[in-house]
């Protein structure tokens, strides 16, 4: 039970599983599937569960565009990557591709125009 749950005197919601984040849902999977279907050269990067967020998968397209969604654990991320026929990496081991940072920088510069 987390601090806020103890302060409220209640039990934590079942779908929180010890984090401050919500669990993944069908909408998350649909978004990931759509991202892969509409972009080329997509790779997946599995990000571990933390005290604040559930396990996530970050998808990066060939041009660096990226998206991140919750996933129900590393095994689900790997299974999804097999189903979508994309490579998947452990983000803690490989880090993130430079093209992702470059894309994000281009987006920030567009926002400041």
10-residue mean pLDDT series, the chain (113 residues): 44 46 69 96 95 91 96 90 95 96 92 72
Taking CA atoms, 36 is separated from 22, 57, 61, 68, in Å, by 23, 12, 8, 12
Q: What pLDDT is attached to residue 33?
A: 93
| Distance from the first to the final alpha carbon of the chain | 46
Predicted TM-score (pTM) of the model is 0.75
pLDDT of residue 4: 41
Predicted pLDDT at 25: 67
Q: Residue 105: what are its φ and ψ, rounded to 5°?
A: -65, -40
Q: Which pLDDT belongs to residue 110?
A: 83
pLDDT (0 to 100) of residue 104? 94
């Amino acid at each position: 039970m987390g601090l806020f749950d103890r302060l409220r005197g209640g039990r934590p919601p079942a779908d929180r599983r010890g984090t401050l984040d919500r669990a993944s849902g069908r909408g998350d999977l649909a978004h990931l599937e759509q991202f892969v279907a509409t972009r080329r050269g997509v790779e997946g990067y599995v990000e571990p569960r933390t005290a604040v967020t559930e396990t996530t998968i970050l998808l990066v397209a060939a041009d660096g565009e990226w998206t991140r969604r919750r996933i129900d654990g590393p095994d689900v991320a790997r299974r999804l990557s097999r189903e979508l026929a994309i490579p998947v990496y452990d983000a803690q081991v490989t880090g993130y591709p430079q093209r992702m940072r470059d894309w994000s920088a281009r987006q920030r510069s567009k926002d400041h125009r």
